[in-house]
Amino acid sequence: GHINLSILGAMQVAENGDLANWMIPGKMVKGMGGAMDLVAGVKKVVVVMEHTAKGKDGSESPKLLAACDLPLTGTHVVDMVITDLGVFTIDKKGEGGMTLVELADGVTEDEVRRKTTARFTTKLA
């Protein structure tokens, strides 16, 4: 309860605010690190990340998902996601869901929808 804002990266974010950022199964890891502490009890969590994960073969896979399939760092903790394509807010306490509130220069809403499996509404200024 002493931290007002935590800004961190993520491997995946779910539409309900779940966060996965510490482990990819099958990869060597030393431990969870301090990310769980950074999202527990903080007033606002902002995730900054690339919108998609790049595969070795050049393919892209969404990182904004309906539900995370990697081990969770925290449940219902993310308030905002900033990616290279746009900015999303997450209503993790009310009716839930993501809202696209800003697009990066040169990016269309259609491109964001193609690269996102999480459901979201749009409220662009």
Domain residue ranges of the chain, discontinuous segments joined by +: 5-122
The tens digit of pLDDT for each residue in 61-103 reads 999 999 999 989 999 999 999 999 999 999 977 676 899 999 9
Per CATH, the number for 5-122 is 3.40.1080.10
Name residue, tokens 């935590």. Answer: 6
* Cβ atoms < 10 Å from Cβ of 83: 22
Q: Is the pTM of this model over 0.85?
A: yes
Secondary structure of residue 120 in the 3-state scheme? strand
